[in-house]
C-alpha cells in the first residue's frame, strides 16, 4: 500500500533525493519549500502524485495548513520528513541576535511546528512515522556553529522524548544524525562568514581553512540517505537516533571517548551533591 509523505526542504539535498525516490516508488507526496518553482519538474513527471506548497516552516499556522492540504488531497498522512534547515558559520560573538534566532527557529521550531500539526492526524490513524533530520553535531560541540549545533541537539532530544510519548498509539519518531553529505550545506555555511575578529583565527579560522574546497567532496551520498529514510518508513522497530556516515561515526567515537574520560575524572564531584541518606533514583523510562 502506498503512503503519503510530507517533506520540508524539498528543493535540494536529502529532501529532494527523498522526494524523487518516494515518487518513483509510487508514493504520494506533499513537497514543501520556500520557493516551489524549482520543484515544478516533479509535477510534470508525476502529476497527481505530488502537491507543491510554499512553506516557511517557522510559520505555525502555515504548517497546519500544509498538513490540512495533505489530508484534503490524499486522505491521510503517513510520513513526515522534517528536513528544512541551514547553517551559517560564524563565531557566536559575531552573530546578530536576529540571525541567531532565525537559525534556531528554522532548524528546531520548524520541526516542532510541523510535528505539532501532524501528530493529531497520526494519533487518530494510530500509525505514522515522524523522521527528523538532525545532525551528527547533536553529539558534540562544533565551534563556529553555535546556533545550528544548539538546534540539532534540541531536535535529537525532542525526538527521543517524543518517541516515548507516541509509541503506545503506533506512531514512530526518529532523529537521523548524518555526517557530511554532498549537498549545498557546506557552501551555504561558508558563504556567510564575517571578517573574523583575530582572537577567533585559531578556532573558526582553522575550520574555514579545513573546509576550503570541501564542498563537493563530502563522503555522504544524499541518494543513499534517501534509501535509508524510505526503508525506515516501512519499519516499526526504530531507534530514537540513527547516525549515518562513517565520518560521523568516527567523530562521535572520538567525542564519546573524551566524554567518558571526563565523566570518570569528575565522578567524585558528580556524586558529591547527593544527600547523605539513601535515596531511590527514578528509572529510565523506555
What lies within 8 Å, CB to CB, of 130 at 6+ separation is 80, 82, 115, 118, 119, 122, 159, 162, 166, 171, 172, 173, 174
Q: Which of 10, 17, 90, 134 is catalytic?
A: 134
Which residue in the list 10, 109, 135, 148 is annotated as catalytic? 148
Tell me which of 17, 137, 152, 180 is the catalytic residue: 152
Residue 1: CB atoms within 10 Å: 5
Distance CA(175)–CA(9), nearest Å, equals: 16
User: Pick from 57, 74, 166: which is nearest to 113 by CA?
Assistant: 57
134 is catalytic: yes
| Residue 200 falls in the annotated catalytic set | no
Letter string b/e over residues 252-279, b meaning 16 or more CB atoms within 10 A of that residue's CB: beeeeeeeeeeeeeeeeeeeeeeeeeee
| CA dihedral over 14, 177, 233, 83, signed as positive or negative | negative
- Residues involved in catalysis: 134, 148, 152
Amino acid at each position: 500500500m502506498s503512503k503519503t509523505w510530507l517533506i520540508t526542504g524539498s528543493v535540494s539535498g536529502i529532501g529532494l533525493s527523498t522526494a524523487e525516490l518516494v515518487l518513483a516508488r509510487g508514493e504520494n507526496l506533499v513537497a514543501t519549500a520556500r520557493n516551489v518553482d524549482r520543484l515544478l519538474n516533479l509535477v510534470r513527471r508525476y502529476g497527481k502524485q505530488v502537491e507543491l506548497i510554499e512553506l516557511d516552516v517557522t510559520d505555525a499556522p502555515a504548517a497546519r495548513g500544509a498538513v490540512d492540504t495533505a489530508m484534503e488531497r490524499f486522505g491521510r498522512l503517513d510520513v513526515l520528513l522534517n528536513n528544512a534547515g541551514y547553517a551559517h558559520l560564524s563565531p557566536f560573538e559575531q552573530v546578530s541576535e536576529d540571525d541567531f534566532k532565525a537559525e534556531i527557529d528554522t532548524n528546531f521550531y520548524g520541526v516542532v511546528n510541523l510535528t505539532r500539526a501532524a501528530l493529531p492526524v497520526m494519533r487518530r490513524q494510530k500509525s505514522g512515522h515522524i523522521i527528523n533530520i538532525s545532525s551528527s553535531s547533536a553529539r558534540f560541540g562544533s565551534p563556529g556553529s553555535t546556533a545550528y549545533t544548539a538546534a540539532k541537539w534540541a531536535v535529537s532530544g525532542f525526538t527521543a522524548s517524543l518517541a516515548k510519548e507516541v509509541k503506545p498509539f503506533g506512531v514512530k519518531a526518529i532523529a537521523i544524525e548524518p555526517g557530511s553529505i554532498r549537498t549545498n550545506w557546506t557552501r551555504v555555511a561558508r558563504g556567510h562568514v564575517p571578517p573574523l575578529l583575530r582572537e577567533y583565527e585559531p578556532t573558526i579560522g582553522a575550520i574555514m581553512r579545513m573546509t576550503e574546497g570541501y564542498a563537493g567532496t563530502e563522503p555522504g551520498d544524499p541518494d543513499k540517505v534517501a534509501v535509508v529514510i524510505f526503508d525506515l518508513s516501512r519499519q516499526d522497530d526504530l531507534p530514537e537516533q540513527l547516525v549515518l556516515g562513517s565520518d560521523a561515526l568516527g567523530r562521535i567515537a572520538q567525542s564519546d571517548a573524551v566524554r567518558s574520560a571526563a565523566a570518570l575524572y569528575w565522578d567524585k564531584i558528580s556524586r558529591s551533591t547527593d544527600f547523605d541518606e539513601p535515596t531511590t533514583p527514578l528509572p529510565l523510562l523506555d
